[in-house]
Structure 1
Amino acid sequence: MTPLAASGGTDPGRFSGRGVLRRIGRIGRRVGPGRLLAGGLLVLLLLVRITDPPAVEALRLRTFDAMQALAPRVPPAERPVAIVDVDEASLGEFGQWPWTRTRLAAICRALQEAGAALVAFDIVFSEPDRLSPPLLARTVPNLSEAARADLRAQPDSDAVFAAAIGRMPVVLGQTATTTPVAWTGDGPPPQTGTAVVGTHPDPETALVAFPGLVRNLPVLERAAAGRGVFTISPERDGVVRRVPLVLRAGGTVVPTLALDILRVATGADTLLIRTDEAGVVSLRLPDLTVPTDPRGQIWVRFGPHDPGLYVSARDVLNGTVPPGRFRDRIVLVGTSSVGLLDNRTTPLDRAMPGVEVHAQLLENLLTGTTLTVPNEAVLIAVGATAAASLAIILVAPILGALGLLLFGAVVAALFVVASWHLFSGHGILFDATYPLLATSLVYLTLVFTNYFREQAGRRRIRLAFGRYLSPDLVEQLALSPEPLRLGGVEQRLTIMFSDVRGFTTIAEFYKTDPAGLTALMNRFLTPLTNAILDRKGTIDKYMGDAIMAFWNAPLPNAEHEAHAAAAALDMLARMDALNAARRTEAESGGHPVLPLDVGIGINTGDCVVGNMGSDLRFDYSVLGDPVNVASRLEGQSKFYGVKIVLGEPTAQAIRDRFPVLEIDLLQVKGKTEPVALFTLVGDEAFRRSERFGQLAARHAGMIAAYRARHWDETEAAAQACRALAVGLRIDGLYALYAERAEAFRREPPPEGWNGVTVATTK
């Protein structure tokens, strides 16, 4: 004995691998497998939110879209912005785009005279006007020298446009590109000044960046009071939700169109960019500070497309705009024409003109209605997810199933209310979807863990009693361990009986091969069973070569008659396929084959369905008179020479969908009242065919002539129906009516005969 062991010291085994596993097992039993699993899932979910994969971001963005759709931005009563729209009407009157710059100069002069505070173009003029007279003098062929001289003497269109721009505050648009673009002017291009204040070592690296910047013609750039980039980059799903206010394009920091409009409107020369370690924090102009995300972007709170913002450029040029429409307003010149391809998808509209996106952004900035996402959004989401999920994990064993459900509902409601309050009251976008999803998954993990524990208990019951009870009873006992009771409920059901005709002859053929007979039975019972189960039927029992089935129990089935009819047709089709396969096998093997033929009876009515039997043994089955009638109908299929016999309730329920023909009025054995018999001769497509229409009319005439004792007409109609029914497998029915007509012609039925046939066998 070692000194340590002799003195009662610590057992070295506790530090071995087996000892660690035992300790983990004790902790697991104390905490519970469900809580351990839920805790592990929570850690994984928190890591997912921190990494923020595209699927999580897409869910968050869709939720923000839904909030905007529920509470879109309400425009101010006095609109600070208006849009001059180069719309379809303008293009129709003044010709295709691009227009000559003299016409754009005319728009500038008209807006100046109308009292516009500032004009901005959501258009870039990077190339000379192709319609400028001096340019035409150089490029148009076959002009006389006098005409060329006259064109050269006229003013350059771009110079006219530049002069109009220089007479009032005008901001020109620029566009960012994915390829570098060279500046064509002399000297450096005009540029808005920027100043950076903050702790970020290189804020330009945080901005949205493009390699190139397409500027306007130098003469226009120098004449303009400002220049801003109108490029709008949507999210991954193509929706515009946030736009940059500053970006890096062509190697320099440039403002976007909306921001430079505000800079010119406030008279500022420089943009102040405030940063921190993460990137951009805000942008500053006199009397205006705009918080942004670290990339210099802001979230736009959209309103729906607003036609009230627009004035057609045609009306501006024609001087038909109401006085005061543009006074003291910022006027954006752009296009809504579909052919000019400047439409954007927003959370509220699938095709909002890009110029209106800039207009709504301007109104956001001027009225302080932009949306914000806190830079700490990830930490907030992670903290909220962890707090709610841990609370659910801790209280789960205490509250029970109902209490836990109510607690989870309260947590979910708090998330939703907080998210909506922050959005509607403060313009803050708080992501409640991920905390909701994560806590729901944690909750479901706890629920399903309990469920699997219950399932394990049920498996133990099945193992314990499976050798002594039928599988059905074992399953019921596992689901409801309390003692099973006898009894049933009344339910309207459709019942089917099917039987193989001539099975005695087939069995005689296999009298020396009982195993072969068993294999044959399995071979035809399997497809018949599958046809029933595929149409939501319930197999009641097998009776040798016969099958009893029903529909509308134990699960409700609103179309139980139609499903039974479809199953019957499928059973015939599967039997045809089986017979074809057996014929092929017989031909290759050189032995005879007996074809299998099946008769089917279907009836509908109120029955009692449930556990039937004795205290010692019972089965889930169905009882009632409609069951007996269905059995009798199947027995009559051979007598009438048809494959399927329907009771009147079934036929009436499906006759508008399936091709149904009346067979006869029959008083079945053991019954005092006759029942109408019908047969099913095809599927729903055949019901709509012209051929069935003709057959149904001649068939009805045959039945009417038969009951009116017109035997010649009955026989003639039977022959005509037989010609129309080729391939429908009801020849025997028309042969029967022809024989009846011949027999009654020789020996008429007694007085008082009402056309009812009395069955002598079941």
Structure 2
Amino acid sequence: MRYANRLYWLAVGIPFALIVFFEIAAPHALAPLRDLVFDSYQRLSPRQWDADAPVRIIDIDDASLTRIGQWPWPRTRMAQLVDKLSAMGAAVVAFDIALAEGDRTSPDQILSLLPPSAARDAVARDIVDLPTNDAVFAAAIAGKPVVLGAIATASPLTITLPQKHGWVTAGDDPAQFVPRFASAVLPLPDFAAQASGIGMLNWLPDRDQTIRRVPVLLGVGGKLALGLAAEALRVAQGVDTVIVKSSNASGETAFGAATGVNAVKIGQFVIDTGSSGDVRVRFSAHEPRRFVPAWQILADEIKPDEIEGRIFFIGSSAAGLLDQRTTPIDATIPGVEVHAQLVEHIIAGGQLSRPDWALGAEAALAILSCVIFMVFLPRTPAIILGLLGAGVVAVLVGGSWYLFHQGGILVDPVVPSASGGVIYLAGLSCLYWQEQAQKRQVRSAFERFVAPAVVERLAGDPSRLVLGGENRTLTLMFCDLRSFTTLSEGMSAQELTRFMNDYLTPMTDLVLDHNGTVDKYMGDAIMAFWNAPLDDDKHAINAGRTALLMIDRLAELNQRWQAQASAQGRHFPIARFGIGLNTGECCVGNLGSTRRFDYSAIGDEVNVASRLEGATKYLGVDLLAAETTHDLAPDLPWIEVDLVRLKGKVQATRLFTLMGSEEEAARGDFAAYRLAHHEVLDAYRERRFEAVIDKANAARALAPLRLAGLYDVYSKRATALLLAPPPADWDGSTTMDDK
């Protein structure tokens, strides 16, 4: 048992230690699992697109490329877009495009591609006063609310990041928390100088290449920079100063630890961020009405009221431009839509947040669920604990969903649930293995002693078995062949082995078939008992019926053995045995040494049963049962045999034998025989010894042949007592000095 307990605690302790490690020491290792949970929440309850949201996308789609020409378009065309949008009152025009190189379609660039010739010189004179396409674009964005994109990079470029606004930081320096880049690919200097803002186009997808978080803040060359969406929001409001609150700022509890960025304030919007200055976006599904084809703007097919006051992001959904991204809701959306959805998300409010206490709460719940399963699994039925666990999981999932749906708070229910589930499965597997091992042990221990059906009952519920030893009321049987030496005389080893197997096999089967347990074989003797290892309310009755069937079976065996001997031309004496039955309290259990033991019974009542078997040869019967056995099976056809004081006993006990089966006892002649038999006993105990002889002869005539010897014993006793009368205090008992 101690080994089983150690094995169980080892089976659940190892995964528990791993769970504690991952929850406390390496919580981010479980982040992919948590992300899948939160993704499923977003798919089940996505943010609904608001048609009135002041955010749209100017889409350089396939239709626009077909109408206007392949990409890249001349900067003059882009300037036209800016002019038309500005003229219609766009709040911001933000480019999800890196304008870091000169326009190759500019007249001066085309001229440089022509070979020297007079015609080339003429063209050069004609375009000398024309502005370059880049100059046209720079002029177009000057003084307008235009935000250009830049790409932060790890390459060690020498740049100066234009500062379009001021910074105010509260608390720890945010630069230590945000994603840091050595440099950036910036728009052309003229563009950067004229733009109202410059925002970073970077986003940092997770390992599965899904965009869940978009950076609001980044570090570029040691300075802070805003992402494109945040910069567009700033320019739209005309904000000159961005405020960043980090750990240990006023009102931000961190207990002195530098835990990260808490929020970014841009004008009227306070953006709650993750510790790295990013925002987990609550996405809506891809919505085509969010997009305005670029060709419609250039063709003046859009009404001004659809433009006025809105933030516009210019980007492309064209498949050939390969700007496609994956979000928790959509497998592919244009990359520009991510920026637009972030602004929608910020303006709509209801941001997703992952509180600082979430990891601690999840770890506590995981450990608590593990401990509950570890402690109660060995003590509680698995089905009940499983139902309880399912209820706990339902509460965790329901609570997590409620927090997400109502407050946008992200608390993972899966890791705590899965942690408990791992412990449940590990513990259940161990207990199942132990149960199967216990069943195998029970089968191995008892398949030689009890019937297969009893073995399966024991294996099905080993708790009913006390192998360590217990006191139980048993009915015990000793059965021993008479004159075994005479029977075996002249047999070879093979013949003797075959004879013993022919004898012991059917006798054993009878014991097992009637719920008995074979304790041991002692040469030709069998020791068996009833009412262990399983309870048997009819143990005395079953033992008595088994004894009668064994007597009948021996008669059949004698006929077969004699027929075999006659066929071989040899004599075979009739085999007889004695059976002793006794009922009383014994110690039963696994007895033996540490290296070998058997399930056996010991105690004084065992000795009594053995002595009753030995007494059968002195009383002329093949079966003797103690009064205790008789009293527990009163419906069997008993007759009292004698009042005997066994060796080592002070008190005399009444002994009984069975006349025959219950069917035989129902016949009318049994009553006559029993009356005649009791007249013998009465005469004997009343000292009427002459009458004993006469009544014994009368009873012998009515008795079954196997009981005839009993009356010979009484006749001999009466004759002896006539010659030597017993003392005056004689109580009719006989003392057995032999075992």
TM range (shorter): 0.5 to 0.7
Is the aligned partner of 1:346 residue 2:327? yes
2:298 is equivalent to residue 327 of structure 1: no
Partner of 1:49: 23
Structure 1 Cα separation of the partners of residues 209 and 106 of structure 2? 38
Gaps of 5+ in 1: 1-24, 484-762
Residue 52 of structure 1: how far off its partner (Å):
3.5
Q: 2:127 aligns with which of 144, 151, 161?
A: 151
By how many angstroms is 1:126 displaced? 0.7
- Tell me, in whole angstroms, the C-alpha distance in 2 between the residues paired with 1:106 and 1:374: 46
From the superposition, tell whether residues 38 and 306 of structure 1 become closer, same or farther in structure 2 (CA, over 3 Å). same
Whether 2:352 is the aligned partner of 1:365: answer no
SS in 1 for 2:295: helix
Please say if residues 189 and 218 of structure 1, whose CA atoms lie closer than 8 Å, have aligned partners that are also in contact.
Answer: no
> Structure 2 vs 1, CA of residues 397 and 477 (structure 1 numbering), >3 Å: closer, same or farther?
closer
SS of equivalent to 2:148: strand
In the TM superposition, 1:495-506 aligns within 5 A as none
* Separation in structure 2 between the aligned mates of residue 307 and residue 116 of structure 1, nearest angstrom: 20
Letter in 2 for 1:218: P
Aligned-pair distance for 1:453? 2.7
Q: Which residue of 1 aligns with 2:151?
A: 175
Which of 121, 142, 158 is matched with 2:95 structurally? Answer: 121
Q: Aligned AA for 1:261?
A: A
The CA RMSD over aligned residues, in Å, is 3.0
AA matched with 1:150: D
Offset, 1:40: 5.3
Equivalent position of 2:181 in the other structure: 210
Residue 248 (structure 1) shift: 1.2
Distance of 2:115 and 2:66 partners within structure 1: 28
d(CA) in 2 for partners of 1:369 and 1:111?
Answer: 30
Match of 1:155, SS state, is coil
Report matched runs for 1:36-75 at 5 Å.
Answer: 37-39=11-13, 41-52=15-26, 56-75=30-49
Contact 2:55 2:311 in 1 (8 A): yes
Q: Hey, what's the Cα distance between the residues in 2 that align with 1:106 and 1:473? A: 95
Aligned to 1:736: none
Q: Matches of 1:479 and 1:322 in 2, distance apart?
A: 82
Deviations 1:472-510 (A, max 9, x none): 997897458899xxxxxxxxxxxxxxxxxxxxxxxxxxx
Q: 1:467: Cα distance to partner?
A: 5.6
Check the 8 A contact 1:137/1:151 in 2, yes or no. no
Residue 217 of structure 2: aligned partner: 246
Is residue 159 of structure 2 the alignment partner of residue 197 of structure 1?
A: no
Deviation for aligned residue 1:32: 7.6
Count of residues in correspondence between the two structures: 454
Where does residue 576 of structure 1 map in the other structure? Answer: none
1:614 maps to none
Question: Match of 1:165, as an amino acid?
Answer: I
Partner in structure 2 of residue 227 of structure 1: 198
2:381 corresponding residue in structure 1: 400
Show CA shifts across 1:213-255 (max 9, x none): 0100111111111110011221011111111101112332211
For the structure 1 residues 243 and 454, does the alpha-carbon distance in structure 2 shift closer, same or farther, using more than 3 Å as the test? Answer: same
Q: Identify the residue that residue 163 of structure 1 maps to in structure 2.
A: 139
Alignment partner, residue 586 of structure 2? none
Q: 1:459, CA displacement in angstroms?
A: 1.4
Contact 1:118 1:170 in 2 (8 A): yes
CA contact (8 A) 1:174 1:229 kept: yes
Partner of 2:314: helix, strand, or coil?
A: strand
Q: CA deviation at 1:147?
A: 0.8
**What one-letter code is carried by the residue in structure 2 that aligns with 1:92?**
T
Give 3-state SS (helix, strand or coil) of 2:103's partner.
coil
Counting only pairs closer than 5 Å after superposition, residues 175-574 of structure 1 correspond to structure 2 as 175-183=151-159, 189-198=162-171, 200=172, 202-276=173-247, 277-396=258-377, 399-465=380-446, 478=459
User: Could you say what secondary structure the match of 1:162 adopts?
Assistant: helix
| Matched AA of 2:390 | A
In the aligned structure 1, how far is the partner of 2:239 from the partner of 2:59?
A: 28
Q: Given the alignment, which residue of 109, 117, 121 partners 1:135?
A: 109
Give the match's secondary structure for 2:306. Answer: coil
Alignment of 1:508-657 (within 5 A): none
On the 8 A contact 1:171/1:227 being kept in 2, the answer is yes
Question: Does the C-alpha gap of structure 1 residues 250 and 468 become closer, same or farther in structure 2, counting only changes over 3 Å?
Answer: same
Distance in structure 2 (CA, Å) of the matches to 1:262 and 1:238: 26
| Separation (CA, whole Å) in 1 of partners of 2:355 and 2:27 | 19
Specify the code of the residue in structure 2 equivalent to 1:91.
L
Check conservation: 1:181, 1:250, Cα contact below 8 A. Answer: no
The 1:472/1:312 distance shift into structure 2, 3 A limit, reads farther
Q: Deviations over 1:360-384 (max 9, x none)?
A: 0110011113311112322111111
Q: Secondary structure at the match of 1:369?
A: coil
Q: 1:141 to 1:93 in 2, by over 3 A?
A: farther
Q: Give the alignment's TM-score, normalised by structure 2.
A: 0.58
1:171 deviation in Å?
0.7
Q: Provide the rounded CA distance (Å) in 1 between the counterparts of 2:203 and 2:452.
A: 66
Structure 2 letter corresponding to 1:459: R
| AA in 2 matched with 1:163 | A
For the 8 Å contact 1:293–1:375, the answer to whether it is kept is no
Do the aligned residues in 1 keep the contact of 2:49 with 2:285 (CA within 8 Å)?
no
2:81·2:297 contact (CA, 8 Å) conserved in 1?
yes
Q: Does 1:82 align with 2:56?
A: yes
Greater C-alpha Rg: 2
How far 1:336 moved relative to its partner? Answer: 0.6
Contact 1:192 1:255 (C-alpha < 8 Å) held by counterparts: no
Q: Percent identity?
A: 38
What SS does structure 1 have at the residue aligned with 2:170? Answer: strand
Given that 1:37 and 1:445 are in contact with CA atoms closer than 8 Å, whether structure 2 keeps it comes out as: yes
Unaligned runs of 5+ in 2: 248-257, 465-739
- Indicate the residue corresponding to 2:83 in structure 1: 109
Deviation of 1:101 after TM superposition, in Å, equals: 0.7
In structure 1, the residue corresponding to 2:270 is in which secondary structure? strand
C-alpha separation in 2, matches of 1:246 and 1:472: 75
SS of 2:58's equivalent? Answer: strand
- Once residues 479 and 402 of structure 1 are traced to their aligned partners in structure 2, the CA distance between those partners, rounded to angstroms, is 17
Residue 677 of structure 2 aligns with which residue? none
Question: Could you state the TM-score of these two structures normalised by the residue count of structure 1?
Answer: 0.56
Alignment check: 8 A CA contact 2:272 2:351 kept: no
Contact 1:173–1:229 under 8 Å retained in 2: yes
* Code of the aligned partner of 1:453: Q
**1:92 aligned to which of 60, 63, 66:** 66
